[in-house]
Amino acid sequence: MPIRIAESVLAGAESGAAEIDGWLDALRSRRTMQVRQVGLDELDGWSTDQDTGVIRHDSGKFFTIEGLEVHVPGAPVPRWSQPIISQPEVGILGFLVKQFDGVLHCLIQGKTEPGNYHGLQICPTVQATRSNYTMVHGGKAVPYLEYFQDAPPHRVIADVRQSEQGAWFRRKRNRNMIVEVTGEVQLLDGFRWVTLGQLHRLLHAEDLVNMDARTVLSCMPFAGPGLAGALPAGRDEFHDALLASCSDDRGSLYSVGDILSWVTEARSHTDIFTREVPLKHLPGWRKTDGRISHESGRYFDIMGVAVRSGTREVGSWAQPLIAPVGTGLVAFLVARIHGVLHALVHTRAEPGYVDVVELAPTVQCTPGNYTVLPPAARPRFIDAVLDAPPERIHFDTILSEEGGRFYHARNRYMIVETDPDAAFDHPDFRWMTLHQMVGLLRHSHYLNVQARSLVACLHSVTGVRPAADRAGRP
């Protein structure tokens, strides 16, 4: 499998671009979605509980917006309250893959979600909540779902539940699946087979490859014997160190046992207490003009939209969305250690995590929020990311978070090289190789969704292309 992945990474990266861009443009011209902002009290099919203020769908399904009280003893901000999305169901995010002319291809989908910043984005083959695929909405069936629901006799390449934003979702997990088929697959309108190389090129475009596609891509077994050897080395020292990072025979600063013990220590000693509280009269938050906002104007709003679409399972619907204030920053500092690229990973607690802390990017924040937060809350190592010279920035693209729950939620994703000096020694941070992260991605709740996106971004840099190619929309 690793060698087949390497071959797919190299295939088509430089070719087929115009054709794919044409396909996307054609979809964009047809896939119009009308999204109109409406007040939370005017959402068809949704109601607000009189006593608690909880917002829920009349079917009792999909998701609810609730209030949460958080207490993190000893933290710079030890207590706060916030709205949060509760969606206990496990949905499916899945890529179907298939070999064409000896090369592995992924079945991508062009889809528009109401919260998308740039309209159409690239999604995995299937992206469905359980309410969605059990057709609570009374709409059409989800295409290709049968390959994931009855995966055998197909080959399951990855199958793991992963968390999503723990600041916005309470205990949300989606099942990330990659399933290989060998038989004939009907190609439906809006879908297309692409190589990993082609998908990696698209990942460098702003707001194009969506969060769901990125998290599934990160679960590719993109490591192991033969993978690095099958990718072309010798371009520069950074790239060679990146390839070495895909192989466990090239060593690592810490053993997997060390890393697991460090995670155990963090999870044993971090206290984060959460409690459901009424959304109505949530301290620090107010409802005005049909939106719920923080009194500082920061963090996020809860807003409502009414949607009309000609090409979805349901033609029109309304729903609440989380609308973050400001663009976020999500970055890995990476360093060459004994010729092997390591990323500086952070044990981060978020109120919605199932298991206390997860491994997060070096920096993950919304810089604008720090205007209203105490100085001690300012993220560590943010200056090393923002002050890096251009030649040490290996990935720098604004990507969107899930447009089905978030409105114009965008983060600047960066991979920034640094020197592995003592300034980065901190008990909450550790240097890890890419193959160590990929190994942990076989299991739930180790890497958070932002770190998984960056793993997909790191993978996308393995196929050699000059740095000048790597910016801009394809």
In contact, 328 and 451? CB cutoff 8 Å: no
260 binds a copy of itself (CB under 8 A): yes
DSSP for 29-44, written as a single string: HH--EEEEEE-GGG-T
Region of 66-74, 111-119, 254-262, 337-345 interacting with a copy of itself (CB under 8 A): 254-262
Rounded least distance, CB 229 to a copy of itself, Å: 22
Identify the DSSP state of 406: B
Sign of the torsion angle spanned by Cα atoms 415, 417, 423, 426: positive
Region of 99-107, 154-162, 222-230, 368-376 interacting with a copy of itself (CB under 8 A): 154-162
275 binds a copy of itself (CB under 8 A): no
Long-range contacts of 69-74 (CB under 8 A, 24+ apart): 69/274, 69/275, 69/276, 69/277, 70/272, 70/273, 70/274, 70/351, 71/272, 71/273, 71/274, 71/275, 72/271, 72/272, 72/273, 72/349, 73/271, 74/271
Rounded least distance, CB 467 to a copy of itself, Å: 36
Bridge partner residues of 415 (DSSP): 332, 395
Region of 30-38, 262-270, 287-295, 402-410 interacting with a copy of itself (CB under 8 A): 262-270
Size of the site for a copy of itself (CB under 8 A): 23
- Which residue stretches of 307-392 are H helix? 382-386
Backbone angles phi, psi at 148, to 5 degrees: -100, -30
- Which residue stretches of 161-232 are H helix? 196-203, 211-218, 227-230
Region of 21-29, 222-230, 294-302, 438-446 interacting with a copy of itself (CB under 8 A): 438-446
Q: CA distances (Å), 423 to each of 271, 311, 344, 381, in order?
A: 26, 52, 12, 9
Out of 206, 248, 258, 313, which residue is the one contacting a copy of itself (CB under 8 A)? 258
Rounded least distance, CB 392 to a copy of itself, Å: 31
Rounded least distance, CB 443 to a copy of itself, Å: 5
465 binds a copy of itself (CB under 8 A): no
As given in the structure block, the two tokens for residue 353 are 């995590």
| Collapsed DSSP state (helix, strand, coil) of residue 19 | helix
How far is 95 from 107, CA to CA, in rounded Å? 6
Out of 26, 77, 141, 156, which residue is the one contacting a copy of itself (CB under 8 A)? 156
Region of 70-78, 258-266, 295-303, 331-339 interacting with a copy of itself (CB under 8 A): 258-266
Sign of the torsion angle spanned by Cα atoms 351, 356, 358, 363: positive
Query: Which CB atom, from 52 or from 444, has the smaller least distance to a copy of itself?
Result: 444
As given in the structure block, the two tokens for residue 391 are 């030649």
Out of 19, 25, 265, 419, which residue is the one contacting a copy of itself (CB under 8 A)? 265
159 binds a copy of itself (CB under 8 A): yes
Region of 94-102, 151-159, 245-253, 329-337 interacting with a copy of itself (CB under 8 A): 151-159
Q: How many helices (H) and strands (E) in the chain? A: 12, 25
Bridge partner residues of 36 (DSSP): 306
Query: Which CB atom, from 144 or from 299, has the smaller least distance to a copy of itself?
Result: 144
Rounded least distance, CB 399 to a copy of itself, Å: 26
Out of 31, 98, 175, 459, which residue is the one contacting a copy of itself (CB under 8 A)? 175
443 binds a copy of itself (CB under 8 A): yes
Out of 28, 367, 444, 464, which residue is the one contacting a copy of itself (CB under 8 A)? 444
Out of 50, 186, 268, 288, which residue is the one contacting a copy of itself (CB under 8 A)? 268
How far is 222 from 36, CA to CA, in rounded Å? 41
Region of 69-77, 135-143, 153-161, 188-196 interacting with a copy of itself (CB under 8 A): 153-161
Considering only residues 83 through 102, tell me which ones interact with a copy of itself, judged by CB under 8 A: 90
Residue 115, H or E segment: none
Q: Which residues bind a copy of itself (CB under 8 A)?
A: 90, 151, 156-157, 159-161, 175, 256-258, 260-261, 264-265, 267-269, 354-355, 442-444
